[in-house]
A and B are shown apart, each in its own frame.
Chain A
């Protein structure tokens, strides 16, 4: 299995509080991604990174920010959590390039509940 660790695995928080989720990889892959998955919506890309300090928005980036100060760590921050951000959050990594280098490997997920 690819070396991807998400922390925390479960979190319950209150509306309006800041929340940071961490993704750590040991594969030295260039690309890292944050997705959310909700019933009826499949996986939706929040933000992704294509290198240290290089990030870009996905399709559902409003209310989220990210940072990547080291190759191995990609942080997702909810500045002021809302109930609509209750979801399962997955981190993924890939080498990037062509063909099978585009395969994404996923972390085990973080279940976030915003009350």
Chain B
């Protein structure tokens, strides 16, 4: 079993739709959580950190469920420009390395 697992998709949604991605992690010592976005043939870029209390940035909401060991990303009112691959990232306490999920691909269509 992979340490971080994501549904690879693809998710194909119309503009304006709400879409949610989940990511599960296996190591209960995990401490830091992030969502990254990667556009085709580009480098991954931080989308948002995921805090225990949950956090929101515009149309994007990230939540953490430590008991069930998963994090989620909700995108409301999807835009064409949201089309990308979304990577879930997990860090253990005081570990310099991160574990990346393989990504979930989202395509938003007109």
**B49–A94 contact, CB under 8 A?**
no
Q: How far is the CA of A108 from the CA of B45 in the complex (A)?
A: 10
Give chain A nearest CB distance to B56 CB in angstroms: 16
Q: Does A64 contact B (CB under 8 A)?
A: no
Q: Count contacts on A: residues with CB < 8 A to the other chain.
A: 26
Q: A residues within 8 A CB of B91?
A: 102
Shortest beta-carbon distance from A15 to chain B in Å: 24
Tell me the residues in window 47-86 of chain B with beta carbons closer than 8 Å to chain A beta carbons: 49
CA distance A48 to B43 in the complex (A): 18
B87 A100 Cβ-Cβ under 8 A: no
Shortest distance from the beta carbon of B17 to any chain A beta carbon, whole Å: 25
Min Cβ gap A57→B in Å is 11
Chain A residues near B46 (CB, 8 Å)?
A: 103, 105
A31 near B96 with CB under 8 A, answer: yes
| Interfacial chain A residues near B11, Cβ < 8 Å | none
Question: CB of A98 within 8 A of chain B?
Answer: yes
Chain A residues contacting B97 (CB-CB under 8 Å) are 33, 45, 48, 58
Q: Report whether A42 and B31 are in contact in the complex, using a CB–CB cutoff of 8 Å.
A: no
**Smallest Cβ distance from A68 to chain B, in angstroms?**
13
Cβ A42 vs Cβ B96 within 8 A: no
Hey, which chain B residues are within 8 Å of A96, CB to CB? Answer: 96
Chain A residues with CB below 8 A from B89, complex form? 104
Q: What is B's interface to A at a CB cutoff of 8 Å?
A: 31-32, 34, 41-46, 49, 87, 89, 91, 93-94, 96-98, 100-103
A sample of 15 cross-chain residue pairs with beta-carbon separation below 8 angstroms, ordered by A number, consists of A42-B100, A43-B44, A43-B87, A90-B43, A90-B44, A94-B98, A98-B93, A98-B94, A100-B32, A102-B32, A102-B96, A103-B46, A104-B89, A107-B43, A109-B43
Which residues of chain A have a CB within 8 Å of any CB of chain B? 30-31, 33, 41-43, 45, 48, 50, 58, 88, 90, 94, 96-100, 102-109
